[in-house]
Structure 1
Amino acid sequence: MKTIATIIFIIFLGFTAQAQNTSTDVKVETTTTSIVAKTTYNFKIDKATEVARLYKFKNALIKKELNFLTKTDKPKMA
């Protein structure tokens, strides 16, 4: 009985799915835009020369600053 009810239910769903009216077409309005092909770039070149420091090792300046010694780091004689 359960299988017969399941088959009838599936057939009923199939008929109702086919009975749907899906023939409505949606119209889409298109717009046209023009393409701009000309681009301009403005560059400012400064004549000033600057000095840059190069370190042999990565993070050399940071490691140097973090490697400081304080007065309490020195050993005392008891």
Structure 2
Amino acid sequence: MKTILTIIFIIFLSFTAQAQNATNEVKVETIEMTIVTETTYELNLETKTEVARLYKSKNSKIKKELNFITKTNKPKMA
């Protein structure tokens, strides 16, 4: 009985899927654009000087965070 009901259910779903109306095709308006043949180049001669920070102090916050030591790296007594 269960197999007959599942077969009828599958057939019912297939008929309802085929019975749906297909959507109409949507027409898209096209825009014509011209091709640009002349190009202009701008040359920016401004130089920007960027400064990199150098931390000389031993207790610097960034150096501490970069050189961290986990608890597993410490030697243990046997």
TM-score for both structures, normalised by structure 1:
0.51
Higher relative CO (Cα under 8 Å, sequence separation at least 6) belongs to 2
Q: Which amino acid letter does the alignment assign opposite residue 56 of structure 2?
A: L
- Pairing of 1:52-67 with structure 2 (within 5 A): 62=54, 66=56
Residue 25 of structure 1 deviates from its aligned partner by 1.6
Q: 1:18 to 1:66 in 2, by over 3 A?
A: same
Residue 43 of structure 2 aligns to a residue in which SS?
Answer: coil
- Pairing of 1:1-78 with structure 2 (within 5 A): 1-22=1-22, 24-43=24-43, 62=54, 66=56
Structure 2 match to 1:71: none
Q: Which amino acid letter does the alignment assign opposite residue 4 of structure 2?
A: I
Structure 2 match to 1:54: none
Number of aligned positions between the proteins: 53
Unaligned runs of 5+ in 1: 47-58, 69-78
Q: Which amino acid letter does the alignment assign opposite residue 66 of structure 1?
A: K
Give the greater-gyration-radius structure (CA): 1
- Structure 1 moving runs of 4+ over 4 Å: none
TM-score for both structures, normalised by structure 2:
0.51
Unaligned runs of 5+ in 2: 47-51, 59-78
